[in-house]
Amino acid sequence: MPLSRREKSSDLSSPATVRSQTMRERTPVMSGKHELRVQMRDLRRGLPDQRLRSEQIAAHLKGMSEVEEAQRVMVFTTIPGEPEMSEFRSWCDAQGKETAVPEDHVDSGWPDVVVVPGLAFTSAGDRLGQGGGWYDRFLSKIRPSCTTIGVGFDQQIVEALLTEAHDVVLDFVVTDGGMVSAR
């Protein structure tokens, strides 16, 4: 069973941030993590309008009270296929928020919010990463008041993922279509 994070309450009733699960196309679950990683990397590379989709993700992030209230935001440096986060980071800087990326060797007690990339997510907050385990190790050490937000494109939401004891469940998952998960 994945490592459990604290329970969160959040208003998900706003139509701007909620996307009906029945409207979203679901990607079927494959038998193994390796196979799913290959499938999801191919899927991401083939998505059109990634820049526009990334802007939509950033807009949804900016509207979250957890992000608005945060003073220190950890975001990721985008690799090909991931949502582009430079505009969101610029917005954070303009709002007077301190920002950092994993390459800055951030102490796990520093962030108020951690924006997390992934290859696949579930609506329950499970995440499939690149396979190195860095985020799971980092997130297992953050303070309970730190909010974790997975970001990806709508097509990266799957019904279920194979999870292991060390896998950390995210507080929220946000896609270009809006918020799909809250713990």
CATH of the domain at 149: 3.40.50.10420
Q: Do the strands 127-128 and 120-121 form a parallel or antiparallel pair, or are they unpaired?
A: antiparallel
Counting the structural domains of the chain, the total is 1
Does 141 fall in a domain? yes
Does 161 fall in a domain? yes
Q: Please tell me the pTM assigned to this model.
A: 0.82
Task: Print pLDDT tens along the chain (183 aa).
Answer: 444 444 333 333 332 232 223 223 444 444 588 899 999 999 999 999 999 999 999 999 999 999 999 999 999 999 999 999 999 999 999 999 999 999 999 999 999 999 999 999 999 999 998 888 899 999 999 999 999 999 999 999 999 898 888 889 999 999 999 998 777
Token pair, residue 129, equals 């990463």
Does 162 fall in a domain? yes
State how far the Cα of 130 lies from the Cα of 124, in Å rounded to an integer: 19
Does 74 fall in a domain? yes
Torsion of CA 103, 100, 128, 4, to 10 degrees: 120
For residue 142, the enclosing domain spans 33-182
